[in-house]
Amino acid sequence: MRIAVVGATGMVGEVMLKVLAERNFPVTELIPVASERSVGKEIEYKGKKYKVVGMQTAVDMKADIALFSAGGDTSLEWAPKFAAAGTTVIDNSSAWRMDPTKKLIVPEINATELTAADKIIANPNCSTIQMVLVLAPLHRKYNIKRVIVSTYQSITGTGVKAVQQLENEYAGVQGEMAYKYPIHRNAIPQCDSFEENGYTKEEMKLVRETKKILSDNTIAVTATAVRVPIVGGHSEAVNVEFSNDFDVNEVRNILHHTDGVVVQDNNDTYTYPMPMYAQGKDDVFVGRIRRDESQENTLNMWIVADNLRKGAATNTIQIAEYLIAAKLV
């Protein structure tokens, strides 16, 4: 497979290359793509050096699949050009996610929706992926009425500038700010910009994308997204109201048998998910599973995942793996 990685020099792009190698993805030719200022830079993949090329050069090279993580504007401009050249695009930005003509895919949930006609496929937001992977089997079993989620999001979701800001603040050095406020010893209740309704784009991604991926607009979702000074992954406190009652042990068992989900839930052994231990792994970890005693048919959970892996690079690559296995590319 001729594979283009668009945004190859960025944080997610670098993880994509790592995961492609780890999973021994069938890459016959790698095309690392970045903005003009990075053209000519060398990147290494599986012990071989490749020169970064620009966007139009990459379009003309007619990759089979292009894995995009280059921001929404770049994707809006260039994904259609790659698609017109016959390349199937899997895009990590928010550009196409809510487009009614584009599929929003978490392979374990809805990859079967894909057809060969899908030339631009949207990868959901990291905080959405980890939540819906856990919610999907529970929705099928108990029918979800409402979700209340509070996130505790890693600074890696903002990118290199945010990681540098935290390192500077640790070191007592004044540097470029990724956030309006210090992130060291702080928690910032704003991920991305605010929308007219007073919610942030990050919060509304959780609301909108969850309904689309679970194919159910009746699910009520509300979210509070918070940035915290950690790097390992995103954590989420999720409260779910079902139409029907449930048994907590049955919930654990359903999740235990869900592909991509690992249950870490034992109070006696202080076993629960934490981003420090999720970092570098592709699973979504769930624990603190307990009935909400304040309301019937309602459950609390704690969900953690590496936002750069299952939340971005790995999910994207799993979509590509599905396309190949289903002979859609």
Annotated binding site for NADP(+): 9-12, 37-38, 307
Whose Cβ is closer to ligand 2RA: residue 127's or residue 210's?
Answer: 127
Which amino acid is residue 159, in one-letter code? G
- Single out the segment in contact with ligand 2RA by CB under 6 A; choices: 110-118, 150-158, 242-250, 251-259: 150-158
Least distance CB 227 / ligand 2RA (angstroms)? 7
Q: Please, which of residues 291-320 interact with ligand 2RA by CB under 6 A?
A: 307
Q: How far apart are CA 223 and CA 200, in angstroms?
A: 9
Burial 162-193 (b: 16+ CB within 10 A, else e): bbbbbebbeeeeeeeebbeeebeeeebebbbe
Nearest to 9 by CA among 61, 64, 69: 69
The binder of ligand 2RA chosen from 74, 75, 88, 158 (CB under 6 A): 158
β-sheet bridge partners, residue 220: 146
Is 287 a binding residue for ligand 2RA by CB under 6 A? The answer is no
Least distance CB 106 / ligand 2RA (angstroms)? 15
- Single out the segment in contact with ligand 2RA by CB under 6 A; choices: 71-79, 153-161, 214-222, 288-296: 153-161
Least distance CB 158 / ligand 2RA (angstroms)? 5
The binder of ligand 2RA chosen from 10, 13, 157, 232 (CB under 6 A): 157
Binding residues for substrate: 153, 227
Least distance CB 126 / ligand 2RA (angstroms)? 5
Binding residues: 9-12, 37-38, 97, 153, 227, 307
The binder of ligand 2RA chosen from 130, 153, 165, 258 (CB under 6 A): 153
- Separate counts of helices (H) and strands (E) for the chain: 10, 14
The binder of ligand 2RA chosen from 74, 75, 87, 127 (CB under 6 A): 127
Token representation of residue 48: 């071989």
Q: How far apart are CA 149 and CA 127, in angstroms?
A: 10
Nearest to 93 by CA among 118, 134, 64, 122: 122
3-state secondary structure 59-71: HHCCCCEEEECCC
Q: Please, which of residues 247-276 interact with ligand 2RA by CB under 6 A?
A: none
Residue 123: partners with Cβ closer than 8 Å, 6 or more residues away: 90, 91, 92, 105, 129, 312, 315, 316, 319
Q: Please, which of residues 171-210 interact with ligand 2RA by CB under 6 A?
A: 191, 202
In the set 139, 191, 234, 256, the catalytic residue is 234
Determine whether 139 is an active site residue.
no
Determine whether 184 is an active site residue.
no
Give, as one character, the DSSP assignment of residue 53.
B
Q: How far apart are CA 68 and CA 93, in angstroms?
A: 8
Q: Which residue's CB comes closest to ligand 2RA?
A: 157
**Residues comprising the chain, all counted:** 329
Active site positions, annotated? 126, 234
- Residues at the site binding ligand 2RA, with contacts judged by CB under 6 A: 125-127, 153, 157-158, 191, 202, 307
